[in-house]
């Protein structure tokens, strides 16, 4: 299978990852965003583990909710004599 940016694939050895969308391809690896929310880099030597998947089966992972940092309190500094 030829791996191209934008292709939708699944990994035969890791079905629990779900379906993934190829984000980037180089001569040595492909970066794939899987439905489980994780982005994984697959070495070119493992491309044979990828198989085409139906484009409609790719579900983009939900964006994580922004985490609000707790507001810090202003501390009074003591003067050194």
Q: What is the CATH number of the domain that holds 28?
A: 2.30.30
* Ordered strands of the 39-43 beta sheet: 39-43, 29-34, 19-25, 8-11, 50-52
Task: Provide the β-strand partners of residue 10.
Answer: 19, 51
Q: Is residue 62 part of a domain?
A: no
Segment 18-22 mean pLDDT? 95
Domain span at 12: 8-54
The answer as to whether 3 is a domain residue is no
Domains in the chain, number: 1
> For residue 29, what pLDDT is reported?
96
The pTM score is 0.73
Which of 14-18, 20-24, 28-32, 57-61 has the least mean pLDDT? 57-61
pLDDT at 68: 75
What is the mean predicted confidence (pLDDT) over 61-77? 70
Residue 18, in any domain of the structure: yes
């Amino acid at each position: 299978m030829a791996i191209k940016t934008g292709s939708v694939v699944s990994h035969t050895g890791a079905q629990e990852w779900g379906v993934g969308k190829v984000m980037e391809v180089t001569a040595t690896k492909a970066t794939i965003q899987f439905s489980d929310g994780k982005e994984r880099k697959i070495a070119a030597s493992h491309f044979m583990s990828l198989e085409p998947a139906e484009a409609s089966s790719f579900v983009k992972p939900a964006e994580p909710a922004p985490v609000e940092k707790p507001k810090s309190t202003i501390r009074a500094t003591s003067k050194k004599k």
